[in-house]
Amino acid sequence: MNLFDSNLYLGRPTRGAYAPAATAVELLAEMDRQGIGRALAWHVAQRDVSPVTGNAMLSEAIAGQPRLYGCWTILPPQTREVFRKGEDFFAGMGRNRIIGLRAFPGQHNFLLNRQVFGKWLDVIAARRIPLLLSLENGVTWPMVYQLLEACPTLTCVLCDIGIWGVDRYTWPLLENYPNVCLETSLVALEDGGMEATVAQYGAERLLFGSAFPARYPESAILQLRHAEISDEDRHKIASTNLERLIAQVALEAEK
Amino acid sequence: MSYATLKEAFYAEGAVTDCPVYDLHGHMGAYYGISFPRPDAAGMVHAMDRAGVKLLVFCHHGTLMTPDVGNAANIEAVRRYPKRLRAYCGINPNYPDVIARDIAEYDQYPDVYVGVKMLADYHGYALTDARYAPAWELADRNELLVLIHTWGGSLYDGPAIVRQAAERYPHARILMGHSCHGEWDKAIALVKEFPNLYFELCAVLDERGVLERFVGETGSERILFGTDLPWFNHHYYIGSVLGAQISDEDRHNILHRNAERLLAKYEL
Ligand SMILES: [Zn+2]
């Protein structure tokens, strides 16, 4: 099974973690141990130190590592910390193999909504850049619902969706917003959850994720290997759905 | 086929004959806070088959949430799947008369029960409250399994309360459901101090590194596998046991040998 991991981080968090990967080399060694070919990574310093510091640390870590793609973390454009005046943000993403964005509104003290992000939301949606939101990292369900109501075409990947099965939250989103996907590290935990979601909304809406180093990658991998879905669907979830999302991302320079 | 490691075997086969799995923490049926894809007995037995789970010991959600369902739901399901299911007699301290009746009738169901289940955080009385005493005394007299929900910081079933129960009922085989979740060091200290206490891994395994601490501090012979089925997927939690930095001998203990030992006196 060719695995493309949509949800793991490198770096060592403030509050500690069991055997994290401090560097890209350590992360790649762990991926080799797990049979994970490629990954869309973030750096925990983006959350725990500052998005500005963490974004730079991530770019530096994945430079020259073709198996690793990155997510930068965004902040409100008004403070010009991440979206800087006179800099082409998207071209910068392209130069650094950054093909996704993350936001931690709880930790970073802002609201992830139309008032704050304005036209940036439409630009991110039009460029088909995936926004990855972790329900364990400062994002709540009402926030997700409001954001998608404000920008229904956003490519949005909901990560770490919760320990308890949350089909009552996720299924209405899958029904209403065609560019919403779920990362599987906790879909896999709900007994029968993956099978039911695939039956209802199709395998295209799920992206494999390990949640390393918070969780054991073997958990989501063993579940996916033996999920009662077709091998074609398994293959989509394991890698090709994320490949498809990346192929759609447009990062050409602003005119 | 034979495989070099349990991880290879489970990755390839999904269910492994020489590593049957005993799930000692299950439920059954619908529950208000969640939509379950397959919460009935047939759906659960299907899930068990997929991962080579030989036996599930459970207590029905309906039993735990209202005496209007009561233990009848447990009895009915076990008698439908006698080779695959055993039940904990559900104890709700809000209904002492129902406890008295269920305890009096316990011996009528040797084919159904292997112990009792207490869910103190949800029922609102500490495990040591006098209302539970008839059930604890039954378990202590007969060396029954007692599956208790435990959670770090809880005044109803946190480590301090578990300690009092373990002292008071030394012959009960007390399974700490969720292993005092979050207060891992206190759970470890309790297992070291009381030979009648066991870790249970449901909701522990989704946090990487805790199982390694349990095994490192106490060995692997007092650790039992559980999933809260129909909540959590067997392959997910088995994957966690496979991913932990422990030996395959430890994994055999956790997935089946420890449970086989605890259940040896029952005809399964
Ligand atoms: Zn439970």
Q: How confident is the model at residue A254 (pLDDT cuts 50, 70, 90)?
A: confident
H or E element, residue A48: helix A45-48
Residues of chain B with pLDDT under 50: none
Q: Is residue B170 part of a domain?
A: yes
What backbone torsions phi and psi does residue A92 show, to the nearest 5 degrees?
A: -60, -40
Cα(B255)–Cα(A137) distance, rounded to whole angstroms? 32
Q: Domain count for chain B, please give it.
A: 1
B231 in contact with A at a CB cutoff of 8 Å?
Answer: yes
Average pLDDT of chain A?
97
Q: Is residue B8 part of a domain?
A: no
The CA-atom distances, in angstroms, between B89 and each of A70, B51, B58, B60, B98 are: 51, 26, 9, 9, 11
**Is residue A222 over pLDDT 70?**
yes
The rounded percent of chain A whose pLDDT value lies above 70 is 100
In this prediction, residue A35 carries a pLDDT of 97
Q: Is residue B176 part of a domain?
A: yes
What residue numbers bound the domain in which B226 lies?
Answer: 20-262
Instruction: Pick the residue from chain A with its C-alpha nearest to B233.
Output: A191
Q: Is residue B242 part of a domain?
A: yes
In this prediction, residue A255 carries a pLDDT of 62
In this prediction, residue A253 carries a pLDDT of 81
In this prediction, residue B10 carries a pLDDT of 98
pLDDT, mean of residues A120-124: 97
Q: Is residue B190 part of a domain?
A: yes
Q: Which residues does A contribute to its contact with B (CB < 8 Å)?
A: 17-19, 163-165, 167-168, 186, 188-193, 195-196, 212-223, 225-226, 228
For the domain spanning A3-248, the CATH number is 3.20.20.140
pLDDT, mean of residues A104-111: 98
The rounded percent of chain A whose pLDDT value lies above 90 is 98
B142 C-alpha to ligand 1 centroid (Å): 23
Cα of first residue to Cα of last residue in chain B, in angstroms, is: 27
Q: Is residue B206 part of a domain?
A: yes
Instruction: Pick the residue from chain A with its C-alpha nearest to B12.
Output: A225
Residue B157 in contact with residue B34, Cβ under 8 Å?
no
Picking from B50, B233, B243, the nearest residue to A218 by CB comes out as: B243
Cα(A214)–Cα(B98) distance, rounded to whole angstroms? 43
The CATH number for B48's domain is 3.20.20.140
Alpha helices in B181-233 (DSSP H): 184-193, 210-218
B172 in contact with A at a CB cutoff of 8 Å?
Answer: no
Q: Is residue B11 part of a domain?
A: no
Q: Is residue B72 part of a domain?
A: yes
Residue A30 in contact with residue A212, Cβ under 8 Å?
yes
For chain A, the structural domain boundaries read 3-248
User: B-chain residues within 8 Å CB-CB of A20?
Assistant: none
